[in-house]
Amino acid sequence: MSGFQEWWYSIQEWWFRLFDKGSEFKVSVPAGAKRLYIGNLSYSAKEEDLRKLFSRYGQVLSIDIIEDRFSHKPKGYAFLEMPQDDADRALALNESEFLGRKLIVSEARDKGRRSGGRQGGRGGGSGHSHQQRQQQQQQPRRRGDGPTTYKGGREKPRVQRFD
């Protein structure tokens, strides 16, 4: 692969990360190449260390150590691209020791569509089912209709109100 092609693939990856957050994330991999996921990576691992380790199994086309968006510290995993035959041989590094940690090496999967919005797909509901919320909305709330016990089960004192 020429230097221009490597540059072009890195620009594509950068573009997708920057602007295409809500849609399908698919980095184009050169024909005949395979993208590998390397997990449980030491936080002190550098690109040169990974290149040295994986170059024993063949040519390494690109390495992408994933960093935190704000602190720019490594998250402990990376992706690399290798020719298909070399990548199949490099899968033998799965559960091998590297910089004091057991690596997880597997074929990378395409990142699926993420849910948008502030909650990041983590709920944010009231803790009630849809049916319970509908029942609550149908019954008008009156003053003093709150719970009669504390969380521990102890009875709340009744207060007489003069309206």
Q: What is the pLDDT of residues 91-145, one digit of tens each?
A: 999 999 999 999 999 998 877 655 555 444 555 555 666 677 666 666 665 555 5
**The domain containing residue 51 runs over which residues?**
29-107
Give the pLDDT confidence score for residue 23 in this predicted structure.
46
The CA–CA distances, whole Å, from 51 to 9, 16, 38, 47, 113 equal 18, 24, 12, 6, 30
pLDDT in tens, 78-92: 999 999 999 999 999
Quote the pLDDT of residue 43. 92
* Residue 79 domain-assigned (yes or no): yes
pLDDT category, 12, cuts 50, 70, 90?
Answer: confident
Q: β-strand 104-107 against 62-67: which pairing, if any?
A: unpaired
- pLDDT surpassing 70 at residue 29: no
Report the pLDDT value the prediction gives residue 49, as an integer from 0 to 100.
93
The structural domain count of the chain equals 1
- Helix (H, G, I), strand (E, B), or coil: what is residue 9? helix
For residues 37 and 158, the model is more confident at 37
The predicted structure's pLDDT at residue 152: 72
Residues linked to residue 67 through DSSP beta bridges, in sequence order: 74
Burial of 144 (0-12, 13-18, 19+ CB in 10 A): exposed
Q: Is residue 47 part of a domain?
A: yes
Supply φ then ψ for residue 14, to 5 degrees: -60, -45
CA distance 34 to 23: 22
Q: What are phi and psi of 125, to 5 degrees?
A: -85, -175
- The verdict on residue 62 lying in a domain is yes
pLDDT of 16 > 50? The answer is yes
The reply to whether 33 falls in a domain is yes
Q: Can you tell me the mean pLDDT for 24-34? A: 67
Give the helix/strand (H/E) hosting 130: helix 130-138
Q: Within a domain: residue 21? A: no
Domain-located, residue 128: no
Residues in the chain: 163
Give the distance between the most distant pair of CA atoms in the chain: 85
Can you give the CATH number for the domain in which 40 is found?
A: 3.30.70.330
- Decide if 66 is inside a domain: yes
Q: Would you state the pLDDT for residue 69?
A: 86
Decide if 135 is inside a domain: no
**Mean of all residue pLDDT scores within the chain:** 77
pLDDT band for 77, please (50, 70, 90 cuts). very high
CA distance 111 to 92: 24
Position 56 scores a pLDDT of 93
For residue 90, how many C-alpha atoms fall within 13 Å in the half-sphere facing its CB? 32
The pLDDT of residue 4 is above 50: yes
